[in-house]
Structure 1
Amino acid sequence: MTSTRIGKIRWTIIGLFVGAMVINYLARSVLGVAAPVILTEQSISNQQYGWITSAFQIGVMLQPLAGYFLDSVGLRIGFAICVVAWSLITMAHGFVNGWFGFAALRSLLGLAEGSAQPAGQKLVAEWFPARERGLAGGIYNIGASLGAVFAPPLVAFAVMMHSWRLAFIIAGAIGLLWALLWFFYYETPARHRRLSEGERDYILTGQEARLAARAEKPSFLELAKRRDFWGIALPRMLADPVWGMLSFWMPLYLARVRGFDLGQIALFAWLPFLAADLGCLFGPAVVTFLQRRNVDLIDARRWAFTLGALMMTSMAFVGLATNPYAAIALLCIGGFAHQTLSVTVITMASDLFRRNEVATVAGMAGLAGNLGVLVFTLFLGQMVDDVGYGPFFILLGVLDLLGAVLLWTLVRKPA
């Protein structure tokens, strides 16, 4: 049965969700791009900026609550509420002064924006058969990179037209418009009026019966006892600091170490995120390539993660590059490698857990990932003035190799 005959509403849904991810990462990336201007204007030190970014990570570490909320309320209403919340908080950034005010807003923003990955995994689990989940997950994660791609030109435009404050207002207003579109268009496959019976049957028959939802709500404690959960969570804890570095610290690194001005940052800082977009598609492509050669789905995902971890070693040489454009190129390889492995391990939640557990598990794994970012950024903020960025790039280059070992060791293939 061809995709044309069965319909393509599921791809329209994932396309709509890409918009949410673009807005989510645009909103969170504006601060990092504007940081060289904001820190100078507001007299904020590197250590205080580390506290600001850490406040965001503390908020986003509450992803398990967001996931449980979405599993309980559903995506249509629950995610609309989350998007409205993060949009209003983003707009509030345009009216704040001082590091403490920024830190307070970043913690609230992290709490609201932490809903995005659990929502994405729940959507993929509900709307796609097993054979398409990896591609669907890769497509919606492109939105994360695109949001970061759009942030540098948005900040440059806002500064030219008014100030950095305008960038936050614009990013928040876009989110409010998207929330209205989501609320009026989205429904579950069982209730969506435009979904044909053929496409509904195609989705349901392609999903594993063992992962069907149960009546009882998921228990945090029971999920935390499963090896599969830790096999996803620990590699994410080791992998996610790369994204924190690219989103929050790369513009400062380019400005203060490589001597880039705001115009050069707007010209070059989006390139690692464009490379990350390609990684979002490369990871699922590797999995599909291996499956066609009779490699089991779980093993195929583990091999894709391992390949990404090997490519990630390029990050260790960023600080050693004498040419700033060579450093940009290495950061691009790091962005590509990160999304190759990140999309792969994130998608595994929908391969291993039941439909009414996926958002909760994705939130719990997100807590681990953002804990990694929190610890990394706290050390970076406190030590960068003394030791420079070089040791941190080396650390980022090797952490995912350990993550690959844990993924192979802890995750069990379903019987």
Structure 2
Amino acid sequence: MSNFRWVICAMLFFATTVNYMDRQVLSLTWKDFIAPEFHWTDEIYGNITAVFSIFYAVANLFAGKFVDWMGTKKGYFWAIVVWSLGAVMHAGCGWFTMQWEGLNSVEALRAVEAGSVAALTIATVSMYAFLACRCVLALGEAGNFPAAIKVTAEYFPKKDRAFATSIFNAGASVGALAAPATIPLLAKAMGWELAFVIIGVLGFVWAGLWIFIYDKPTKSKHVNEAELTYINQDEDSNNAANSDDEGPAIGFAKCFTFRQTWSFAFGKFMTDGVWWFFLFWAPAYFSDQYGYTSDSPTGIALIFTLYAIVTVLSMFGGYLPKLFVEQKGMNPYQGRMLAMLIFAFFPVLALFAQPLGAYSAWWPAIIIGLVGAGHQAWSANIFSTVSDMFPKTAIATVTGIGAMAGGLGSFLINKCSGSLFTYAAEQGSAFQFLGFEGKPAGYMIIFCVCAVAYLIGWIVMKTLVPKYSPVIVR
């Protein structure tokens, strides 16, 4: 039997890695490189991440349908081309701001008096410039997971999908792992602008490879008969004979009539924001609370350790339901939900990050790493619930709907976090929560929200779809 499906899985892994590296460039450069030039506050950065999240959410609503209509080969190609273009465009924001303000150098931007009307204008103009670029980035990135989940359904049988998803989804962790080890150093040595350009170009390289490598299993010259039989083992004899038939089409509005859609969407809404919060705010957290800037050796080591834990542990997330199916005789959905319940307890550890941080910054790094590992393991399985229960014609569409809900959750947590941290810092000791005051109290509030989000999400999902219930279209 050939094993070309794992080559395709590797391509999905690298696409997701690039996706998250492009997303991470801003979070690793804004505090120590960009903010001094443009006089940004936490609230401005929070606004940028919040708008990115809401635009990403809206784009996901249509990206999944676009991928189902265009097909995985062309749909994925255009998604990564668009987001890579958006990533590279960030490099021009400084030039745009200087032209708008009539300034001729970065030094002139920095020299503007903090708190002045001119500083506020520079902050506002640069914010809108970055927002435009983030929206282009979000438009393309919205296609990544709908396309990747659809490709997984095309190339893997149900019992292997969570494992394959956990492998390519680990690209998010690896991207977040590689980013702190490379991006701050690039920004320090070559300027933050080139950090955006260099990472953005990686996506164009991937797109060139994808268009030549990918074909559906039945059309691929790299997939032999034995592998094709393995891939189609879930199909009945009639469907297996015509595996290009993806099942009955489901209209966009029709998808919202199924409780399976709402179950997936609510699970994403409750949990995606947790991952994005740590992705966007962890570098600033270690800089604010402990004084370790993103380009300092300790700052790099903290973020690298955090995502190393996520990367190593999350790989087991997709393998656990496979064990439940093969050794315990559970159906795939039952095994996934049990695994997700186990992973839902990992984020509870977030309650201890801030208290233990009083002893060392390494404690929050380790704890956030464990929370992130729980999220990635959860994520691999919640994505696979879609391919378990929907025909292939609707997989990308439903995945996009869920990603939209996740983007809305991310918008709320990032918008609220930026405003909360700015307010808490201004109030100082007058703002208190669970023994913390000022900005540390703000972080503690968000950590508490993160701690319970997955358990709430799991309970609602289980209530909506208590047992395996594939969608039947008549």
* TM-score (norm. length: structure 1): 0.95
User: Which residue is equivalent to 2:432?
Assistant: none
Q: What pairs with 1:55-204 in structure 2 (closer than 5 Å)?
A: 55-61=51-57, 62-97=59-94, 98-204=126-232
Decide which structure has the larger Cα Rg and report it.
Answer: 2
User: Which residue is equivalent to 2:18?
Assistant: 23
Counterpart amino acid of 2:347? M
How far apart, CA to CA, are the structure 2 residues paired with 1:414 and 1:155? 45
How far apart, CA to CA, are the structure 2 residues paired with 1:344 and 1:112? 24
User: Which residue is equivalent to 1:3?
Assistant: none
Provide the secondary structure at the position in 2 that maps to 1:195: coil
User: Which residue is equivalent to 1:240?
Assistant: 272
How far apart, CA to CA, are the structure 2 residues paired with 1:375 and 1:78? 29
1:311 and 2:346 equivalent?
Answer: yes
Q: Which runs of 5+ in 1 are unaligned?
A: 1-5
Aligned-residue offset at 1:84: 1.0
Aligned-residue offset at 1:24: 0.6
1:253 and 2:250 equivalent?
Answer: no
In the TM superposition, structure 1's runs of 4+ consecutive aligned residues that sit over 4 Å from their partners are 207-212
User: Which residue is equivalent to 2:122?
Assistant: none
Counterpart contact for 1:95–1:165, Cα < 8 Å: yes
User: Which residue is equivalent to 1:213?
Assistant: 246
Aligned-residue offset at 1:207: 4.3
User: Which residue is equivalent to 2:460?
Assistant: 406
How far apart, CA to CA, are the structure 2 residues paired with 1:337 and 1:194? 35
Counterpart amino acid of 2:90? H
Aligned-residue offset at 1:51: 1.0
Counterpart contact for 1:275–1:332, Cα < 8 Å: yes
Counterpart contact for 1:59–1:108, Cα < 8 Å: no
Provide the secondary structure at the position in 1 that maps to 2:392: coil
Aligned-residue offset at 1:347: 1.4
Q: Which runs of 5+ in 2 are unaligned?
A: 95-125, 425-440
Q: What pairs with 1:248-397 in structure 2 (closer than 5 Å)?
A: 248-261=280-293, 262-263=295-296, 264-291=298-325, 292-321=327-356, 322=358, 323-385=360-422, 386=424, 387-397=441-451
Provide the secondary structure at the position in 2 that maps to 1:124: helix
Deviations 1:209-236 (A, max 9, x none): 69962353x3222111111111111111
Provide the secondary structure at the position in 1 that maps to 2:162: helix
How far apart, CA to CA, are the structure 1 residues paired with 2:138 and 2:25? 14
Percentage of pairs with the same residue: 28
How far apart, CA to CA, are the structure 1 residues paired with 2:176 and 2:227? 34
How far apart, CA to CA, are the structure 1 residues paired with 2:352 and 2:132? 35
Aligned-residue offset at 1:19: 0.9
Give the CA RMSD over aligned residues: 1.7
Counterpart contact for 2:82–2:139, Cα < 8 Å: no
How far apart, CA to CA, are the structure 2 residues paired with 1:34 and 1:309? 31
User: Which residue is equivalent to 2:36?
Assistant: 40
How far apart, CA to CA, are the structure 1 residues paired with 2:317 and 2:142? 23
Stretch deviating more after TM superposition (401-410 or 199-208):
199-208
Aligned-residue offset at 1:40: 2.3
Provide the secondary structure at the position in 2 that maps to 1:388: helix
Counterpart contact for 1:22–1:144, Cα < 8 Å: yes
- State which of 2, 15, 30 in structure 2 corresponds to 1:7: 2
How far apart, CA to CA, are the structure 2 residues paired with 1:278 and 1:206? 30
- State which of 225, 231, 246 in structure 1 corresponds to 2:263: 231
Provide the secondary structure at the position in 1 that maps to 2:217: coil
State how many pairs are aligned: 409
How far apart, CA to CA, are the structure 1 residues paired with 2:302 and 2:25? 15
User: Which residue is equivalent to 2:109?
Assistant: none
